[in-house]
Amino acid sequence: MKTMIAYASKSGTAKRCAERLAARIPGSALVDLHREKPDPSGYDQVIVGGSVRIGALHRDAKQYLDGAKPVLLKKRLAIFLCAGNEEGVEKVLENNVDPELRAHAERMVSFGGELNPEHLGGFERMMMKMVTKVANSEKDKLPKLFPERVDALAELFK
């Protein structure tokens, strides 16, 4: 099966997760949606994902899902998020992914998130530092990645 893994990443977390997926799904094509918007017609299965900021899926991932919807509805589909707030994942999907695509997707999963202030601009970096200070008092509230979820999705789409 030909597999395309398309991602949109702000600070690199979604990119690293997509690369991990691609390394575990033989022959898969890895696509950065910030650079290109490929036609998914030539693939049997498509995995699309992106980073989440303040409850919004990365613009490039959202636009790709919306624009390629007619073709994606004919493909085996999975959607992944890289979101630091695990409790808000269902709401992010509801607010950012078309209901038909959500119903069609074989799997929708959050890979978690991480704090990478060094990859952010001025205002975002300042906000991230404030969040980190507050969260440091409650270590269990800090965002973390779940590589086992990446591996489970790869196993499903091998």
Residue 49 tokens, joined: 């994902």
Read off the pLDDT band of 33 (50, 70, 90): very high
Half-sphere exposure of 37 (CA within 13 A, CB side): 11
Parallel, antiparallel, or unpaired for β 56-57 and 76-82? unpaired
Instruction: Please name the helix (run of DSSP H) or strand (run of DSSP E) that holds residue 134, with its range, or none.
Output: helix 122-136
Residue 72 scores a pLDDT above 70: yes
Class of domain 3-115+144-157: alpha beta
pLDDT over threshold 60, residue 29: yes
Q: Give the SS3 label for residue 108.
A: strand
Q: What is the pLDDT of residue 64?
A: 98
Instruction: Tell me the C-alpha distance between 34 and 68, whole Å.
Output: 15
Q: Is the pLDDT of residue 117 over 90?
A: no
DSSP class of residue 114? -
- For 124-131, the CB contacts below 8 A with 24+ separation are 124/53
pLDDT tens string 90-110: 999 999 999 999 999 999 999
| Contacts of 49 by beta carbon, 8 Å cutoff, 6+ apart | 5, 6, 7, 8, 14, 17, 18, 61, 79, 80, 81, 82, 111
Question: How confident is the model at residue 55, as a pLDDT?
Answer: 92
5: phi then psi, degrees, rounded to nearest 5? -115, 110
pTM check: above 0.95: no
Residue with tokens 């303040």: 54
Q: What is the pLDDT of residue 152?
A: 98
